[in-house]
Structures are given as C-alpha cells and as structure tokens.
Amino acid sequence: MGIIIRQSVKSVVITYLGIGFGILNTLWLLPAILTEEQIGLYRTIINVAVLFSIFASLGTGNIPNRFFPYFKDIKNAHNGFLFFILTVGMTGFVIFMVLYLNLKFLFVNAFIKNAPALVNYFYLIIPFTLIILLITIFESYNTIQQNPVVPTFTRELLTRIFAAISLILFFFLRFEFKWFINLLVGFYGVTLCTLIFYTFSQNYLFLKPHTGVFKSPHLKSILVFSASILVGTGSATIINNIDGLMLSSYKGLKDAGIYSIAFFIATFIEIPKKSLSQVLIPLVSEANMKNDRKQLEMLYKKSSITQLIIGGLIFILVWFNIENIFKIIPHGNVYAKGIWVVFFIGLGKIFDMTTGINQEIVGTSKYYKIDIAFYPFLGLVVIGANMLFIPIFGMTGAALATALSVFFINTVRFLSLLIVMKIQPFSLNTLKALLAFAIVFVINYFLPHIQNHFLLDSFFRSIIIGSIFIIIILTLKVSEDINILTQKLIKRFLPDYK
C-alpha cells in the first residue's frame, strides 16, 4: 500500500506540473510566438494524428487494463502479451496507412479550400500517427505493470516540456515553420524512445515472437473486447476532436487557432473532476462488483454536488474575469473573439461535472456496453451539429455543438443509471447550489470594475465573489463533506476559534 500511495502522490505532482507547463505553453508561449494560423495548424496536426492513432490501434491501448492479469508471468515473458498487442497495433497501422494513402483525395478535398497549409503535412501525419499509437501502447503496458509514474511523466509533463523547447527554439533560431512541426514530431519520437528504454530497464521489454496469447482461450474475448472498445474510444475521440477539425475545414486555421486557446481556458473548470475520478474509481468498481446500490448512489450524489460546487466556483471566477484573462494573453484582443467559446464549453463542463461520476459507474459495471453502443450515434449527432452550427456561428457554433454533445451523453448515462440501477445524483442540495450561483451572478452584475487596472480588478472581484459564494455554500450546508473539511481547516489554523 505504501508503494501505491507514493506512486499516487508522484503522479498527482507530475500531473499538476504538467498543467503548469500547459498553461505556460497555451496561454503565453503559443500566442506570443506563433500566429493564429500557425497555432491552428499546430493543433490540427496533433488532433488528426491522435484521431487516426485511435482507429489504427484497434483498441490495443485498452487491452492491457482488462486482460493482462490472465497472462502475467514474467518468467515466461508474460506469455507474449507485449508481442501480441504490438502485432495487433501494427496490423491496424498498416490497414490505416493503406486506406489513408488511397483516400488522400478525401483529406485534400476537406481542407484544400480553407486550410491548404494542412495538406502540405499529409505524409508527415503517417509517422506521427505511428509514434502516438506506440506511445499509447507502451504507456498502457507500463501502467498495468504497476509502474504509472513514468507514463504519467511522459504524457503529462515531458511532451509539454518538449513543446515549450520547440517554441523557444523556433522563436530564437527563426527557422521555417515546417521545421518546427518536424521538431515537434521528433520530440514525440524521443518520448516514445524514453518509454521503450524504461520498459527495457524494468526487464519486461519482451519483443521476441511468442504465440501464448494467440493460442489462449481468452483470444476470442480479447478480440470482441477490442472491437467494442474501438467503437467506443473511436467515437469518443471523434467527439472530442471533431470540432477543431471541422472548424479548420469550414472556417480556416486562424479560427481554429483562436478556438484552441479559448477551449483551453474552459478546460480549467474540469481539472478537479479528473482528480476526484482517480480517487473514486476503485470505490465505484468495488461497489459495482458487490452490486452495492446504496454505496453507488451515495458516491454518485456526493460526487455530483462536490463537482458542481468546485467546478461551478472555477467557472464563475473564469467567466467573471474573462475579459481580464484575455488581456493577460499576448495579442489578447485577437483571441478575445473566442469569448463565447469559453462560455459554452464551460457550461458543458459544468453539466458533465453536475451529473457526477456517471461514466465511472457505467464503465465499471456490467452495463458498460450501453455507453459503447450510444457513442457511434452521438458521434453522428456531433458531426451533424458542427455541420449545422459552424457555417452560421463559426467558432461559437463549434463550441455549441460540443456542449450539446456533452449534454446528450450525460443525459443518456443519467437515464440509463436511473432505469437499470434506480440511482440518480441530484438532491435538494443541487437546488441550493444553483441558488448560490444565481445570487453571485446578480452581485457580479452590480459590482463595479476597477478601470485601467485589470489585474487589481480580477484580484478583488475574485476575492469578493469567491468569498460570498463560499459563505452561501457553507451557510446553506450544501455539501456535508465541504462543511466538515472547512471545520477541520479552521480548527487546524485557528484552534481558539469557536
């Protein structure tokens, strides 16, 4: 248990360091060094490679989590498990490459009008896709060996450090932008080599051909699971990436670049959700295994109200200071065109958090196929919504389509859990929290701005609004957990306070 705790602490520290580098890169280095079109091209190339790698992987990134325990035997090279997932992954990549090269006209037709610069990187996307695919496999393989720290380091921190280095070198050396992209892809290759070397250093880089998995009675289950996961993760990746890609196709790379900056600002809202999810997944999984509906509903409700309060607080602080935030960003007047992107994506994040750990409950239960079955339909809805809204509303339309997709998938999960498990996340406390939000929205409307001092304005506005919101939440006893935590903090720092 001590090792697990240490690894968890290290992973959390690395994750938040990665967030820090993400903020540095996205809100300062990118807009300071690159043009909006270059940012759009940079983001779009990454999104395309990630999207293609998911389909090319044939679900191999998820196979270790489910089936590795059946083959774990280090003395027997884990029965060729790594060789198997690499074989499946490379088979998928070859299939992808053949289709990709033969369907080049579709790629060209999609981007040649409004994003012609992307077409110049058509062939570079092939090795980039392969690198990301292999990174995914080795991250998953190392994590399942109970060594999550290095995969977390490479995913959350190293790639962002390399991105910062690439940007700084591009700024000082002034080479062509295509070499910046080549350098970035090269650094992803270094990340892959780091994972492979670490796997070798831990003595489980078993690449010798082995037929153990191919002859296993579990092979059929693995292939069925892989196909199911491919449908689910593929559709989910489309949902998460299609907005930027379709925006590039319809409106061009400049709008895509502005959109990516605004989208990143909105993602601050969901940071607490990821941390809470990591804590609750083991509890949810155990409760599902025992079919303990009372425990599941308790976790469901507590996660909902906690995420609504914390995520909601971050949302109002971001939204009430949004104009000041754009003033901090280099060339902020240009990126401020994405202000409503922040609003709609933020609302989507809040709805996702308010519906609690529904994904974790469904995903660890015997009903996980409900999620997977619905994803393809949702993918079509998202594509249709983007096709409808982007030509009319531009980048705001892309954000609106994404927010609607979040609403739909969480509504389906909510209804599924309500019907099959008879549990739901809402209570009177949900209404109390919404009342607190309504009150601070009214107060903010009448709160004067400090003219010509946007940093002071943000500081005092955040202190006033945040304090009022927290006082209302504590007074109304919206969350028992938050009230208890507050009392413990008061006793620790103010022991004489009554």
DSSP-derived secondary structure letter, 467: H
Highest mean pLDDT pick, 120-124, 197-201, 284-288, 403-407? 120-124
pTM of the model: 0.88
Dihedral (C-alpha) 240, 263, 479, 492: value to the nearest 10 degrees? 120
pLDDT at 2: 47
Whether the pLDDT of residue 394 is over 60: the answer is yes
Is the pLDDT higher at 69 or at 266? Answer: 266
User: With contact defined as beta carbons under 8 Å apart, do 482 and 469 qualify?
Assistant: no
pLDDT at 185 over 70: yes
Per-residue pLDDT for 1 more than 60? no
Least confident interval from 21-30, 100-109, 160-169, 267-276 = 267-276
CA distance linking residue 419 with residue 428, whole number of Å: 21
The Cα–Cα gap between 257 and 436 comes to: 35
What CA–CA distances, in Å, run from 422 to 178, 299, 340, 353, 419? 55, 14, 37, 20, 6
Residue whose C-alpha is closest to residue 386's, from 376, 394, 398, 370: 398
- Look over the chain and give the mean of its residue pLDDT values, rounded to a whole number: 88
CA distance 338 to 349: 17
141-167 pLDDT, tens digit each = 887 777 778 888 898 899 999 999 999
Confidence (pLDDT) at 278: 63
The pLDDT value given to residue 482: 83
Task: For residue 68, give every residue at least 6 positions away whose Cβ sits within 8 Å of its Cβ, in sequence order, or none.
Answer: 78, 81, 144
Q: What pLDDT is stored for residue 235 in this prediction?
A: 76
DSSP category for residue 154? I
Contact 454, 327 (CB under 8 A): yes
Write down how long the chain is: 498
- 388 pLDDT tier (thresholds 50, 70, 90): very high
The region of weakest confidence among 43-47, 62-66, 245-249, 453-457 is 62-66
- CA quadruple 433, 434, 435, 440: dihedral, nearest 10: 90
Is pLDDT larger for residue 289 or for residue 137? Answer: 137
